[in-house]
Amino acid sequence: MEKTFLMVKPDGVQRGLIGEIVSRFERKGLKLVAAKFMRISPELAERHYAEHIGKPFFPPLVDFITSSPVFAMVWQGDNVIALTRALIGKTDSIAAAPGTIRSDYAVHTNFNLIHGSDSPESAEREIGIFFEPHELVEYEQII
């Protein structure tokens, strides 16, 4: 079954939106398999956002993502990457469709509340950066 890495960023944590964001994925019917409330180090930020090194927004992005805690998660389900990206909305909050998390709660691309993996390759890489294999909990959904 497909897995994805999702992370409520410092702005989402500071604004008290962890519950609201997690609730949207729960109500969609997706399965939470790992979660961690943590502070990201500059080294971890560089690994996670390696593809953006050299871009103008990279230094402020690292400053921001390391500024206060994040809520890192792994979710599982059929097409979970595409489904969660649809619920999250486009990176630019102005372009995000109404009803998406970013449209409903974010006003700026730099403070867009949540990160979601964009491909199976990214998901595998990002899950491996944030979680040890034993931290992913296997269980049956019984209801």
List interacting residues with ligand CMP (CB under 6 A): 52, 57, 61, 91, 109-110, 112, 115
Residue 109 annotated as binding site: no
The pair of three-digit structure tokens given for residue 85, joined into one six-digit string: 């990206």
Nearer to ligand CMP, 39 or 52 (CB): 52
37 in a labelled binding site: no
Q: Is 102 labelled a binding residue? A: yes
Q: Which is nearer to ligand CMP, 121 or 138 (CB)?
A: 121
Identify whether 48 is a catalytic site residue.
no
CB 105, min distance to ligand CMP, A: 14
Q: Which of 48, 52, 108, 115 is catalytic?
A: 115
User: Which amino acid would we find at residue 142?
Assistant: I
The angle that helices 80-88 and 18-28 make with each other, rounded to 10 degrees, is 130
The Cα angle at residue 4 between residues 34 and 142, in degrees rounded to 5: 55
Residue 112 among known ligand-binding residues = yes
Strand order in the sheet with 114-116: 31-38, 70-76, 3-8, 114-116
- Alpha helices by DSSP H, 56-119: 58-65, 80-88, 101-105
Buried-state track 92-124, b at ≥16 Cβ within 10 A, e below 16? ebeebeeebbbbebbeeeebbbbbbbeeeebbe
Q: Please name every residue paired with 74 in a beta bridge, in sequence order, or none if there are none.
A: 5, 34
Least Cβ distance, residue 54 to ligand CMP (angstroms): 13
- Nearer Cβ to ligand CMP, position 37 or 57? 57
| Minimum distance of ligand CMP from residue 32's CB (angstroms) | 20
Q: Which is nearer to ligand CMP, 60 or 99 (CB)?
A: 60
* Residues of the binding site for ATP: 9, 57, 85, 91, 102, 112
Q: Could you give the residue numbers annotated as active site?
A: 115
